[in-house]
Amino acid sequence: MKTSTPARASGALTIGLCLVVALLEGLDLQSTGVAAPRMAREFHLAVAQMGWAFSIGALGLLPGAAIGGRLADKLGRKRVLMLSIALFGIFSIATTQVWDLNSLLAARFMTGLGLGAAMPNLIALCSEAAQPHQRSTAVGAMYCGMPFGAALAALIGIVSPGDESWRHIFYVGGIGPLLILPLLVVYLKESAHFVLAKSREMTHRESRSGVAHALWAEGRAGTTLGLWTSYLGTLIVLYFLMNWLPSMVLSRGLTRVQASVVQMMFNIGGGIGAIVIANMMDRIGRRFTVTGMYVGIAVALAVLASATGSVSTAFGGLLAGLFLVGGQSVLYALASTIYPVQVRGTGVGAAVAVGRFGSILGPLIAGQLLATGQSASVLVIASIPLIVIAAIAALLVIARFSRGQTIATAHQPDHA
């Protein structure tokens, strides 16, 4: 069935608006890493304390993703997304007013809560706005906003007026989301798939849409566990680098500007990888794409660990962003195809929430190990076994998906 021009235009507009939201989310997530050295000086924070500052925002992401995904299936993707944006915008601005470690932790936790709730809705909206053969590309196109937003945060760090200035980064990360809210009210359309699923549910009085049913029923248990494992392993490594890469570069004797350049290259690579690798999944299939993606991650980590100068470190950062951030967009796209539309928000939100354990553990464990004198290169190399486990889990998910054991759409066709 061909899609009408107005429907295609509406889908493109939805993906474009979600891309802008993802860009703002990526900027805010990276802001703490960029501002960390200056915040540490102002509040006299030790390395381990900065690890908590990184991880507390990720701690908010976890319940945010689970709750946001569940509410998306109950209240609608658009409504929950707007509430999420308002939350992380307000508390990003509140971060500029913190006065010590405790107030910083409180502001970043609430910001993370809003950021976490936004992502399952962004994934569901983009997946459901695209044609089935373009869903991975649509999710990747949205998700590329995350690393480009993070690169923007790094650029703000480079052009910052002085070593003591850091609050303006959070002003940008807070005012931007609040400014885009009116545009979402006017132009963002609720998912037609969600509207249809809710109308069917009301017509047939279907009530089997609880969390347990969404995640474990109709052959989805093995796939859910595999998906969770792949998210967890990949996000441990991704968030370790997102938060500690600037400090790691500085520890090698490079300058603050060079560290910001490396961070920017990491995020530029991530933006390219998010759209290119997700598009490859639509074109050449899931198994080959995911295999190549995880091999690329392992190679990138080895290059980054062995780099010494500014050029080789920047190249390692580019490769790591390309495959790690690009790989995460592929995992998001994969999750969006596994769960039927009536429980898609719950399923994706739960996977994102479990993965957020990795975003908490990565920076926190790295901070504790660095505080004991472990070198950053050793930590990067030690990340490779986690990547191997995540790769095996993702390939098992794809194998089950290919055999048709994880799609619960026999009774609920996924079309609007």
Structural domain boundaries in the chain: 11-189+207-402
Write down the residue that tokens 């299936």 correspond to.
73
Residue 240 above 80 pLDDT?
A: yes
User: How far is residue 268 from each of residues 191, 242, 304, measured CA to CA in Å?
Assistant: 30, 13, 16
Half-sphere exposure of 8 toward its Cβ, with a 13 Å CA cutoff?
A: 6
Question: pTM of this prediction?
Answer: 0.82
Top-tier CATH class for 11-189+207-402 = mainly alpha
Tokens of 298: 């392992």
Q: What would the mean pLDDT of 274-280 be, rounded to a whole number?
A: 91
In what helix (H) or strand (E) does residue 253 lie, and over which residues does it extend?
none
Q: How confident is the model at residue 407 (pLDDT cuts 50, 70, 90)?
A: very low
Q: What would the mean pLDDT of 289-318 be, rounded to a whole number?
A: 92
Contacts of 355 by beta carbon, 8 Å cutoff, 6+ apart? 228, 231, 232, 234, 235, 331
CA pair distance 145, 140, nearest whole angstrom: 9
Tokens of 56: 């507390």
Q: Give 75 or 409, the one with higher predicted confidence.
A: 75
CA pair distance 54, 17, nearest whole angstrom: 28
- The helix/strand/coil state of 12 is helix
Residue 5 above 90 pLDDT?
A: no
CA pair distance 63, 85, nearest whole angstrom: 15
Q: What would the mean pLDDT of 222-227 be, rounded to a whole number?
A: 91
Please tell me the predicted confidence (pLDDT) of residue 239.
Answer: 80
Q: Average pLDDT of the chain?
A: 85
Please tell me the predicted confidence (pLDDT) of residue 2.
Answer: 52
Helix, strand, coil percentages in the chain from 3-state DSSP, rounded to 5: 85, 0, 15
Please tell me the predicted confidence (pLDDT) of residue 90.
Answer: 96
Residue 281 · residue 296 · CB < 8 Å: no
Q: How confident is the model at residue 27 (pLDDT cuts 50, 70, 90)?
A: very high
Q: What residue type is assigned to position 398 of the chain?
A: I
Q: What would the mean pLDDT of 311-324 be, rounded to a whole number?
A: 93
Please tell me the predicted confidence (pLDDT) of residue 155.
Answer: 83
Q: Which of 317, 255, 26, 35 is nearest to 160 (CA)?
A: 35
Please tell me the predicted confidence (pLDDT) of residue 222.
Answer: 87
CA pair distance 114, 60, nearest whole angstrom: 8
Phi–psi pair at 403, nearest 5 degrees: -85, 0
What percent of the chain has a predicted confidence (pLDDT) above 70? 92
Q: What residue type is assigned to position 157 of the chain?
A: G
